[in-house]
Each structure stands twice: as C-alpha cells, then as structure tokens.
Amino acid sequence: MPTLLKLFALALCTLGTLAQAAQPIVIAHRGASGYLPEHTLVAKAMAHAQGADYIEQDIVMSKDNALIVLHDLTLDATTDVAERYPGRQREDGKHYAIDFTLAEIRQLKVTEIQTDKDGNRQAKYPGRFPSGQSSFRINTLEEELELIGGLNKSTGRQVGIYPEIKVPAFHRREGKDISAAVLQVLKRYGYHSRDDKVFLQCFDPLELKRIKTKLLPQYQMDLKLVQLIAMTEWHETLHSNAMGLKPEPYNYDWMLAPGAAPKIKDYADGIGPWFPMLMTETDGQWRVNHMVKEAHAAGLQVHPYTFRADQGQVPEVFSSFEEYVGFFLQQAGVDGVFTDFPDRAVKVRNSLRAK
Ligand code: G3P
Ligand code: CA
C-alpha cells in the first residue's frame, strides 16, 4: 500500500477509535432467543454461555404485583393461556398478565413465539425451537437475577443485565407503579450505581424522566438509563391527554430529527433505536445518517435492536447476518447490538476487534 494511503487508513482507524472508545457490547435479546423460547431461564443460561455481555429482561406485573419476565403485556403469544384459562380474556380477546396471579402464571406452558395467520396459530420463526416441545415456564425477575448472578459466580464471567420496564402508563392505569417495583428489586440484588453492569431501558420518555429525577434519588440509586425509540405509528407508548380522555400515542418523531441527542442526554445515557432508524435512503442508496454521530457528540451510547439471523430477517442489502452486524458495529459505529443470536454477534465483534 502506498505510504499516503497507509497514513489515510491509519487516520481513519484512529478516528474510529476516538468515536468508539469501548468495545461494542452484545446484548442477548430476550436471551439466546434464536435457539430457545424467549425469556426462559434456559435461554438466559445459553446466552451467558455464548458470551453475551448483557442479557435482556422485559418486565411486566402480575395481578398480585409479582414482576415477571415477559415481552408482551399479554400471555397469548408465548403460552397456552387460552386453553388453560378459558373465559379470562378481555374484550380484545387477549389474556393480560396483570389479570392473573403469579401462581396462575406459573401453571402456564411456555412455547416458542406464535403468531396468528388466517386464524391459525403458527410459529413466528419456523426455523427455531419446535413449538410445544419440552417444558418451559415464565419466571420472575428475581429468579432471573439469581440465575445470572449465580452464573457470574460459577463461571467468573461478569455478564450484565438490561431490564426493560414495559408500558408503565398501562401499569399506572391498572393501579400499579412498575418502575418503583423494578428499582427496589434491582437495588436488593446489588444493582444500584452507575458502575454496576446494568442498563435500565424504557420506551416511555416521561417515565424515564420520572425515574431520573424522582425515583432514583428517592431510592438512593443512580443507574444508566436508555431511551428506546419506537416509530410513532407502532403506538408503543399511550399517554392520557391533558383532559384525561382516551390515551393518545406518544409522538417519537422528534427523537429521529437532528438535534434530539442533547435533549435525550438530559435524562438518559443511551438510546435504543430500531436499527433502520440509523439509515437514510438517498438516490436509492442507504447511508448512515446523523443519529449515531449526534448521539456520540452528546455523550449518548447507541444500542440498536433487533438483529436476527432467521430466514427473511437479514436486510437484502447484506449477504449474511455477519455482514449485517459487522456493518452496524463498524461503519455505523454503534456501541452495542440487541440480538437473538448472541453467539454469532460475539464472533463478529471479536473478529472486528482482532482486525
Ligand atoms: O428493548 C430493546 C428491544 O427489545 C425493543 O424491542 O419490542 O423487543 O422489547 P422489544
Ligand atoms: Ca425489550
């Protein structure tokens, strides 16, 4: 390589190092959920063994205030609740975890995630663990923290946790303060300072501000907070309006626009965008947009979701899952990735580091 080119390459490497000081992290999304039913303890143990740096917990509350590790507010997609508890659904036909006690939830069989197609229940990801096989249960947050803490001790690997408070406004409407409950459990299990290996995530910016300014000081805690970013049309966060009428979808558009990062930095330490939000199409070409650069300039980490290797889940512009993850780690310069396949993302991250 000519000397001038070598110097240019060196300068690029140095710039890359400055922008991304720490090694990017691999977050096991719902555990090693590409291989075992999501949020089961075996999926979490597998993620730990596969070298994930952090393991994610989505958290909702039961009728009797237990914190359970479950992605949806409802039990339908991953359990046999409809057969086990007929007639317990709400008007929308769904069975809400908050309408069941922990003892009832423990009776449910967990399976690989199901979806409804033309009135039939079928596996959302057909290549994954066979539906209805083996025996899996829903666990509490405490049980999962004990598992990860136990594995950290027995293996000597310090794997962090990445809990998500699910839909706090829904829980409030049901008379429950899920954020306060989660913080108290985290504190009891030794996660209370910024130095602890925990990122606390939520889609609801008003709740994150409340956690930052009210709850963390109240419990004498100081955790790193991550603002998850949704597309407004997903209706991920519904807030009651000023008149106290029907809840309205929170508008996330400002978080995607230039200039958002310093405003988010006022109450959070990182952002969790959907990965396509970091790209913009111009003249038929997809390019990395302003978001990572602005986030880093404001001191925010960037952990996009969710990198999946299943058939049809890798964007067509990439030839493999490895190229896809590698692009976001290297070209886009993100600080971590949420993935259902932590083993494969760890390999990509390590090979980039070796280079
Ligand atoms: O929390 C990061 C990612 O998990 C957000 O999406 O819907 O899988 O919780 P979701
Ligand atoms: Ca999540």
Q: Whose CA is nearest to atom 3 of ligand 1?
A: 305
Q: Which atom of ligand 1 is nearest to the CA of 162?
A: 1
With a 6 A CB cut-off, is 58 part of the ligand 1 pocket?
yes
For residue range 21-78, list pLDDT tens digits in order: 589 999 999 999 999 999 999 999 999 999 999 999 999 999 999 999 999 999 999 9
How many Cβ atoms sit within 10 Å of the Cβ of residue 350? 13
With a 6 A CB cut-off, is 38 part of the ligand 1 pocket?
no
Q: For residues 178-188, give the mean pLDDT.
A: 98
pLDDT, residue 240, reads: 78
Residue 17 pLDDT > 50: no
Residue 336 CA to ligand 2 center (angstroms) comes to: 14
Q: Which of 107-111, 119-123, 173-177 has the lowest mean pLDDT?
A: 119-123
131 — pLDDT class (breaks 50, 70, 90): very high
Taking the CA of 29 as reference, the closest ligand is 1
Percent of the chain residues past pLDDT 70, beyond the cut: 93
CA atoms of 164 and 182, how far apart (whole Å): 9
With a 6 A CB cut-off, is 40 part of the ligand 1 pocket?
no
| Sign of the dihedral defined by the CA atoms of residues 347, 343, 141, 171, in that order | positive
pLDDT, residue 21, reads: 53
Q: Whose CA is nearest to atom 6 of ligand 1?
A: 305
Residue 144 pLDDT > 80: yes
Q: For residues 190-195, give the mean pLDDT.
A: 98
Peptide bond into 213 cis (omega under 30): no
For residue range 284-306, list pLDDT tens digits in order: 788 999 999 999 999 999 999 99
With a 6 A CB cut-off, is 112 part of the ligand 1 pocket?
no
Q: Which atom of ligand 1 is nearest to the CA of 30?
A: 4
List 224's β-bridge partners, or say none: 199
Which residues touch 32 (CB under 8 Å, ≥6 apart)? 43, 44, 46, 47, 50, 52, 340, 341, 342, 343
With a 6 A CB cut-off, is 272 part of the ligand 1 pocket?
yes
Nearest Cα to 159, choosing from 44, 52, 302, 39?
52
Of 3.20.20.190, 1.10.540.10, 3.40.50.2300, 3.40.50.300, which CATH number belongs to 40-74+139-354? 3.20.20.190
Q: For residues 142-168, give the mean pLDDT.
A: 98
Q: Determine if residue 330 is left, alpha or beta; phi over 0 gives left, psi from -120 to 50 gives alpha, anything else beta.
A: alpha
The ranges assigned to domains in the chain are 40-74+139-354
Active site (catalytic) residues: 29, 71
Residue 164 CA to ligand 2 center (angstroms) comes to: 6
